[in-house]
Amino acid sequence: MQKLLLHTCCAPCSAAIIEWLTANGFCPTLYYFNPNIFPRTEYDIRKEECSRYARALGLEIIDGDYDHAGWLELVSGLEREPERGKRCFVCFKMRLLATARMAQEKGFDRFATTLASSRWKNLEQIAEAGHWAAGQFEGIAFWEKNWRKEGLSERRRILLAENGFYNQQYCGCEFSRRGKGDFDLRF
């Protein structure tokens, strides 16, 4: 089995990818690092769903720090950017840099991300951010894979229903939530 650190954003996006990885000779360790998610209750729900799924499969999951204030500082001035805009690219770079750092700390030579499974995300931005992050550490590579192909999008839907996963309706950050209903920003 090949080792791989898999940055995971949520259980629905991760399940089909994890299934594919294990069926193809990989033993993924999940890394949950998503300081962009807001409010904290949303973050905790998504983290618990990922953790529950990892436990059910006997996989290790590493819990990254939740530093939403640091994330907000990083994207300051980009709040009005559209989905797939500059804010998303900065967010991807932050999260994948942390993943590359964790890969180095834990002895992995490569990492991937479930972000590339979402039809709402720009694959070119994810690839650029991932390769940039890997380039910051010697001996670490980013595995660029389009997780939307090979029937994985359909399998995602099936696994979501089979596992009763919580299925969020926005990427996670409060700025992507605009126009999708109000919620309390005081959290």
45: phi > 0 → left, psi -120 to 50 → alpha, else beta; which? alpha
Residues of the chain with pLDDT under 50: 180-187
In the sheet that holds 26-32, the strands lie side by side as 61-63, 26-32, 2-7, 110-113, 141-142
pLDDT in tens, 41-91: 999 999 999 999 999 999 999 999 999 999 999 999 999 999 899 999 999
Q: How much is the pTM?
A: 0.92
Listed in sequence order, the residues at least 6 apart from 118 whose beta carbon sits closer than 8 Å to its beta carbon are 9, 13, 171
- Going along the chain from its start, the domains and CATH numbers come out as 2-163 (3.40.50.620)
Are residues 117 and 148 in contact, defined by beta-carbon separation less than 8 angstroms? yes
- pLDDT value at position 178? 65
